[in-house]
């Protein structure tokens, strides 16, 4: 794949971004990154990635916009309801045994997954003793996440998924609808810390019992995946849980043997005791 | 003669029937990978790969992120994920926004595969009712790969094939058995 002009331009662009803005996309999976950059170049009216590089280097506002193209996969609440159902069945009973809980949602984007987890924990009577760390590299996404406000048009799909996740209550118990938006209960915010954190460049910041990082690892190459999964292993307490996306795998990671499957189909793993 | 290293297939409405003819016709001796995007209503678990695995001589599975590409393996894009190819070659998935309202998108697969396999790619569009696939097939052609469109037979909607044809010439317009014959002749195609 190396050697074409586009590949050279792509490499130069992500090096430039790293040197100027310290955002590290060097370990991102190339096929998706290439597609996103090509799309961004078109939207910025640039005919080549070199042109885009020029603009990004000389105009910080362009970079902020570009970051949006590079980092925001569309998220939704209770995506893959069966996954959350499995968390209720297979993970929650263990979480109940801890007097206090810390949960890390890595790559939380605009927060849909964060509120899903917070709601689930409230329904399981665990939220009052939980602190959720929700991290992302995109400050704008984190800002949206911290408001807990979503378009009302998205709520029916969220409601359906929430119900399918085995919820005892209705999603409408947790938000107020007004002016075409749904505002999630402010009380959730007391249990959530939103923070800037990069799986590519930052390190472990807390010991946690549960990590969710779903559909983030697909954007990383194997080396960066290894780094991220290594961070997860180090952040998890003994026998802590790791949830990844339903089509993601830790099989190809060098840390694969550090985890055992709790629910292989829904990609829920548990940290193994060190031998 | 052209050496072909991979096959990509895109299908929409009516595609299941097309694939039911095409895939079982492929021999266990096929040495190239086959990647498939089939538009289906969104659902959380697809039985496609299991259904086809029973009918096929080849190994059929749903694509898993970062899995190395195996020769003679057939991969379906999972519902609600784009399927791409990365160096290795390895499978790559994304949840980027839908293209032509489709995720998985045929364009995304075809464009990504043609970047990797260049002129050694065979791209096939089966019948369907979608714009998705036309740009992808154009990308295959521009990279020097071989392009095939299923002959519209009037039975199924043929908007997809028509959209693909509108974007430029294709190397073959064939009925399903003709397409099966072409794949059976791989890894080399004797271009007429």
Q: Three-state SS string across chain B, please?
A: CEECCEEEEEECCCHHHHHHHHHHHCCCCCCCCEEEEECCCCCCCCCHHHHHHHHCCCEEEECCCCCECCCCEEEECCCCCEEEEECCCEEEEECCCCECCECCCHHHHHHHHHHHHHHHEEEEECCCCCCCCHHHHHHHHHCCCEEEEECCCCCCCCHHHHHHHHCCCCCEEECHHHHHHHHHCCCEECCC
| pLDDT confidence bin for A1, thresholds 50/70/90 | very low
- Told to judge if B105 belongs to the known catalytic residues of this protein, a careful annotator would answer no
Q: Is the pLDDT of residue B158 over 70?
A: no
pLDDT digits (tens, 9 = 90+) for B81-137: 999 999 999 999 999 999 988 999 999 999 999 999 999 999 999 876 678 898 999
Q: What structural domains and CATH numbers belong to chain A?
A: 5-71 (no CATH), 81-271 (3.40.50.150)
d(CA A268, CA A241): 7
- What percentage of chain A carries pLDDT values higher than 70? 97
Chain B interface includes A218 (CB < 8 A) = yes
Q: Which two tokens stand for residue B11?
A: 């299908």
d(CA A254, CA A230): 9
B90–chain A nearest CA distance, Å: 10
Q: Is the pLDDT of residue B167 over 80?
A: no
B86–chain A nearest CA distance, Å: 6
State whether B112 and A35 contact (CB < 8 Å). Answer: yes
What is the pLDDT, as a whole number, of residue B89? 95
d(CA B184, CA A1): 27
A239 membership: H or E segment, kind and range: strand A236-244
**So where are chain B's domains?**
2-189
What is the pLDDT, as a whole number, of residue B53? 85
Q: Is the pLDDT of residue B44 over 60?
A: no
- Per the CB < 8 A criterion, the answer to whether A129 and A99 are in contact is yes
Q: Is the pLDDT of residue B161 over 70?
A: no
d(CA A203, CA A206): 10
State whether A74 and B97 contact (CB < 8 Å). Answer: yes
What is the pLDDT, as a whole number, of residue B164? 66
Chain A interface includes B87 (CB < 8 A) = yes
State whether A247 and B63 contact (CB < 8 Å). Answer: yes
Question: Which residues from chain A sit within 8 angstroms of residue B62, using beta carbons?
Answer: 247
Question: Of residues B106 and B2, which shows the higher confidence score?
Answer: B106
What is the pLDDT, as a whole number, of residue B2? 80
| pLDDT confidence bin for A186, thresholds 50/70/90 | very high
Who among B84, B93, B108 is closest to A247 (CB)? B93
- Told to judge if B132 belongs to the known catalytic residues of this protein, a careful annotator would answer yes
State whether B112 and A73 contact (CB < 8 Å). Answer: no
What is the pLDDT, as a whole number, of residue B128? 67
What is the pLDDT, as a whole number, of residue B127? 76
CATH superfamily of B2-189: Methylesterase CheB, C-terminal domain (3.40.50.180)
Range in A72-81, A188-197, B19-28 the model is least confident about: A72-81
State whether A219 and B112 contact (CB < 8 Å). Answer: no
pLDDT digits (tens, 9 = 90+) for A195-238: 999 999 999 999 999 999 999 999 999 999 999 999 999 999 99
State whether B92 and A29 contact (CB < 8 Å). Answer: yes
Mean pLDDT of A47-72: 93
pLDDT mean across residues, chain B: 87
* Predicted ipTM > 0.85: yes
| Burial profile A80-93: b = 16 or more Cβ within 10 angstroms, e = fewer | bbbbbbbbbeebbe
* A216 three-class SS: coil
- Told to judge if B112 belongs to the known catalytic residues of this protein, a careful annotator would answer no
Catalytic pick from B5, B107, B132, B135? B132
Residue located via tokens 């190809």: A252
What is the pLDDT, as a whole number, of residue A102? 98
What is the pLDDT, as a whole number, of residue B190? 67
- What percentage of chain A carries pLDDT values higher than 90? 92
Cis peptide before B79 (omega within 30 of 0): no
What is the pLDDT, as a whole number, of residue B77? 95
pLDDT digits (tens, 9 = 90+) for A4-34: 898 999 999 999 999 999 999 999 999 999 9
Q: Which two tokens stand for residue A197?
A: 């954190």
């Amino acid at each position: 794949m190396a050697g074409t002009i586009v590949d050279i331009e792509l490499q130069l662009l992500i090096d430039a971004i790293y040197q100027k803005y310290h955002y590290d996309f060097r370990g991102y999976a190339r096929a998706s990154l290439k597609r996103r950059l090509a799309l961004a170049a078109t939207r910025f009216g640039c005919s080549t990635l070199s042109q885009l590089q020029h603009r990004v280097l000389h105009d910080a506002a362009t970079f902020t916009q570009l970051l949006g193209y590079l980092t925001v996969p569309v998220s939704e609440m209770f995506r893959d309801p069966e996954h959350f159902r499995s968390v209720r069945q297979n993970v929650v009973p263990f979480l109940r045994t801890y007097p206090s809980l810390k949960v890390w949602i890595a790559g939380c984007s605009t927060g849909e997954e964060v509120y899903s987890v917070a709601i689930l924990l409230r329904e399981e009577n665990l939220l009052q003793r939980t602190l959720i760390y929700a991290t992302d590299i995109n400050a704008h996404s984190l800002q949206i996440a911290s408001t807990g406000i979503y378009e009302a048009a998205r709520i029916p799909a969220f409601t359906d998924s929430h119900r399918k996740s085995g919820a005892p209550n209705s999603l409408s118990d947790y938000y107020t609808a007004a002016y075409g938006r749904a505002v999630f209960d402010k009380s959730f915010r007391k249990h959530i810390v939103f923070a800037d954190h990069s799986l590519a460049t930052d390190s472990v910041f807390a010991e946690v019992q549960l990590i969710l990082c779903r559909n983030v690892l697909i954007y990383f190459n194997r080396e960066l995946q290894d780094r991220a999964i290594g961070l997860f292993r180090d952040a998890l307490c003994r026998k802590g849980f790791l949830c990844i996306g339903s089509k993601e795998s830790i099989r190809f990671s060098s840390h694969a043997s550090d985890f055992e499957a709790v629910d292989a189909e829904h990609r829920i793993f548990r940290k193994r005791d060190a031998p | 003669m052209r050496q072909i290293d991979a096959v990509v297939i895109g299908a929409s409405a009516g595609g299941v029937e097309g694939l039911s003819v095409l895939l079982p016709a492929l021999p266990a001796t096929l040495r190239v990978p086959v990647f498939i995007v089939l538009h289906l209503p969104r659902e959380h678990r697809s039985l496609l790969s299991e259904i086809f695995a029973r009918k096929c001589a080849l190994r059929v599975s749903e694509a898993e992120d970062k899995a190395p590409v195996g020769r003679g393996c057939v991969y379906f894009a999972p519902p609600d994920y784009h399927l791409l190819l990365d160096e290795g070659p390895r499978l790559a998935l994304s949840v980027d926004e839908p293209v032509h309202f489709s995720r998985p998108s045929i364009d995304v697969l075809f464009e990504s595969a043609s970047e990797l396999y260049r002129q050694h790619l065979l791209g096939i569009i089966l019948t369907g009712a979608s714009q998705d696939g036309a740009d992808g097939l154009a990308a295959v052609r521009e990279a020097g790969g071989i392009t095939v469109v299923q002959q519209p037979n009037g039975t199924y909607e043929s908007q997809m094939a028509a959209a693909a044809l509108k974007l430029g010439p294709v190397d073959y317009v064939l009925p399903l058995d003709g397409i099966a014959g072409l794949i059976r002749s791989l890894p080399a195609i004797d271009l007429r």
